[in-house]
Amino acid sequence: MVKRGKLEIMRDILGIIQENKNLIKSTPLMRKSNLSSARFKEYYNLLLERDLVKEITDKNNDKHIILTEKGFRFLEKYSSIVDFIDEFEL
């Protein structure tokens, strides 16, 4: 199995959130992302830091994860980013 790159993993996590109508809890997100708990935490914190996702709390006090505007934009632009990196061997 080919190891996924950092950007690809970020895209996969953001894609899962989008497919879940932009609302998902962290446990199913971790399960669907096929990452170990430690790796998931690392990526999740990265996405929060980069303002690609944010946490919201509903009236039952349950935490959910949603995409930010920047997160949606990342998904839109993902193929351009990868194409650009490949084109200039960055």
The label of the residue with tokens 């994860």 reads 65
Stretch that binds other proteins, among 19-27, 29-37, 56-64, 72-80 (CB under 8 A): 72-80
Look at strands 53-57 and 63-67 and give their pairing.
antiparallel
How many CA atoms lie within 13 Å of 77's alpha carbon, on the beta-carbon side? 10
Interface with other proteins, residue 19, by CB under 8 A: no
Chain positions 28 to 57 lying near other proteins, rule: CB under 8 A, are: 50
Stretch that binds other proteins, among 15-23, 30-38, 55-63, 71-79 (CB under 8 A): 71-79
Identify any residues that bridge with 70 across adjacent strands, giving them in sequence order: none
Interface with other proteins, residue 86, by CB under 8 A: yes
Q: How far apart are the first and last CA of the chain?
A: 23
Nearer to other proteins, 8 or 28 (CB): 8
Residue type at 83 in one-letter notation: D
Total residues at interface with other proteins (CB under 8 A): 16
Q: Which tokens hold the place of 73?
A: 């934009």
Interface with other proteins, residue 70, by CB under 8 A: yes
